[in-house]
Structure 1
């Protein structure tokens, strides 16, 4: 007789390439389930993505509320309420602020609140609301008022938990579950693969490559990044992420856009860089690169210091001098020290942020 699994309905803004989307993807793929026991609902109209394709191929229903603008907001809430009423989930689990708000209102309207656990997801830390308009500010304020209605609020960082408690979220509801990294997928690559990748972009085998993998967004502080680039003309900077084509043309910067093979991108580099100014919770790119044996230089936002430990360099936000000096320090190391730092970086992820640990923690919270 087949084991019966809990019905879980996940709510997320979209299934694009962001950290929350990949985390949900890994979580769902990494657990056992009965066909029909898991449904994923996106707020935004869903375009074909790798994440969406993987999930549907596995037999998981992916539905969309088609929330095209704020005027569709009431309709979307009632559509989701009807989905909850029909699906009768044991758990509604939402991912990020907008999804938390919509899922909560829909569950209350559905009439199934007494039968359904509500689990929220917080993915960021301190936000600069002036950069994102009134809608996000309003949503977070309403969520802080409603937060006591959630049975559990999962933050992917200690920094995220602390920041949201300061915003008025119910502190007793929080559980911190750090993102899990697929260490089989994100692993060091061989010399042949590394050189093949470099040849593809006409990069010399002995060039020192710094990878910056981040969407073009105020949070990522590309202004500081460009100042660093100008100070290190001898380094090659590979930039990957949504809208990064908007960056100016610079001789030592190669823009690869939304790149499909991140393990190879990281594995071909000598260093990963994160210049974020605020808002990070658990930056996946730092941990993923470290799992590939690539040391990190990152500004001290979110749980970066907890991820990196003593394996790389942590600087103050907007500290161009500190970032430049950190990159130069890694670049100047002898081969023995570089290999030692590479092994330390991967080992830290293996010991603290492996995917199976995240999955087991999330399953425990759902139980």
Structure 2
């Protein structure tokens, strides 16, 4: 099977780009992938190169260059003769869904927006949202979405009911990572927070809640990682320098999966404090190392965590502090109960969110799109 992917790209290490990387890496032995980006993707280009994919940038920021690259893209399609065009995110869905449809190639959209708030989207993206809702009735054969909440939001906006729920998959250790049992007289309860510095991730909630929590429980520690989560970031420094002390460790941007894995292994519990999310990857990443999670009730967090951890209302510091205390007391006083919670978190990820399951579901959708397209042609 030959699949052409078109994704927005740009700077940074976004969730969609990461999911695509894992997908092509895991399935390259059976699928011939070609990946186009609307913008250069410098942070991910080396990773794609390592798995044998040379990204083809359409350079949408340079209009003249984009027109030339678009002509080459159409020529490439005729040469490659893909079985499916898989578009990722709203702009590729709009632009290249139309091209694929005009060439008679089945198109599968990928939608990942966790919020459709008009103020957050802005005017241009709101227009594209509405246009895509209309196009969804005729352009895509299937629409993949990693978030149940996002699916419901898009249906309310008038999107055709062609959705297929495929949660993100994570690389998972073959066996549960073993940590020493806590000793209430000596151990430190280590909390983790992973996410780029932005309003959406609500670092303020985590830092203020942990500071209050730590004032009562001194044998606690906070690891914080993510782009901009460092005192060298002026905005972060201005907001939190007066609060941070030696109970915090700021790790900033993490560049490799191996480094991130080592950070998860140091945690006892992960906290997600976001105001908004679609499908929070950090939850399944942490749980794959047997790290129970506390999360605000955003995106698919409740679905992911289920009964393995704690869900608290968004932007509710008191509720978060209460959850921290509950987790702390269980960790310190009931090591057997905590060990069972760790295994339950690990088992839930194995059963529902492995990279293998994600890839199987994508291939099933592509095959369904091809069969549906062939059936439509025969009817004509």
SS at match of 1:60: coil
Give the equivalent residue in structure 2 for 1:271.
269
How far 1:146 moved relative to its partner?
A: 1.7
Please tell me whether residue 306 in structure 1 is matched to residue 291 in structure 2: no
Deviation string 1:19-54 (CA, Å, 9 cap, x unpaired) is: 22221111111124469x2111111113153xx324
**Structure having greater relative contact order (Cα 8 Å, sep ≥ 6):** 2
Give the equivalent residue in structure 2 for 1:11.
6
Of residues 197, 204, 215, the one that matches 2:196 is 215
Of residues 127, 136, 158, the one that matches 2:116 is 127
More deviation, 151-160/224-233:
224-233
Please tell me whether residue 107 in structure 1 is matched to residue 85 in structure 2: no
Please tell me whether residue 316 in structure 1 is matched to residue 313 in structure 2: yes
Please tell me whether residue 228 in structure 1 is matched to residue 209 in structure 2: yes
Change (3 A) 1:328 1:229: same
Change (3 A) 1:158 1:34: closer
Change (3 A) 1:73 1:158: farther
Give the equivalent residue in structure 2 for 1:360.
360
RMSD value, Cα: 2.7
Deviation string 1:130-171 (CA, Å, 9 cap, x unpaired) is: 235333323322222222211110011211110111122112
**Cα distance in structure 2, aligned partners of 1:358 and 1:77:** 30
Q: How many residues align?
A: 342
Please tell me whether residue 157 in structure 1 is matched to residue 147 in structure 2: yes
Give the equivalent residue in structure 1 for 2:49.
56
Deviation string 1:237-282 (CA, Å, 9 cap, x unpaired) is: 222222223423211332212213211111111111111222x222
Give the equivalent residue in structure 1 for 2:34.
39
SS at match of 2:136: helix
**Cα distance in structure 1, aligned partners of 2:125 and 2:226:** 22
Please tell me whether residue 166 in structure 1 is matched to residue 156 in structure 2: yes
**Cα distance in structure 2, aligned partners of 1:262 and 1:185:** 17
Change (3 A) 1:360 1:271: same
Q: Is the 8 A contact 1:189 1:264 kept in 2?
A: no
Change (3 A) 1:53 1:189: farther
SS at match of 2:291: coil
* TM-score normalised by structure 2 residue count: 0.82
Q: Is the 8 A contact 2:270 2:286 kept in 1?
A: yes
SS at match of 1:243: coil
How far 1:217 moved relative to its partner?
A: 2.3
More deviation, 96-105/18-27:
96-105
How far 1:232 moved relative to its partner?
A: 2.2
SS at match of 2:308: coil
Q: Is the 8 A contact 2:59 2:66 kept in 1?
A: no
Q: Is the 8 A contact 1:96 1:123 kept in 2?
A: yes
Change (3 A) 1:134 1:188: farther
Change (3 A) 1:219 1:78: farther
Q: Is the 8 A contact 2:58 2:66 kept in 1?
A: no
How far 1:75 moved relative to its partner?
A: 6.5
**Which structure has the bigger radius of gyration?**
2
**Cα distance in structure 2, aligned partners of 1:236 and 1:154:** 39
Give the equivalent residue in structure 2 for 1:98.
91
* TM-score normalised by structure 1 residue count: 0.84
Q: Is the 8 A contact 1:211 1:273 kept in 2?
A: yes
**Cα distance in structure 2, aligned partners of 1:143 and 1:242:** 32
Q: Is the 8 A contact 2:13 2:43 kept in 1?
A: no
Q: Is the 8 A contact 2:176 2:343 kept in 1?
A: no
**Cα distance in structure 2, aligned partners of 1:78 and 1:138:** 26
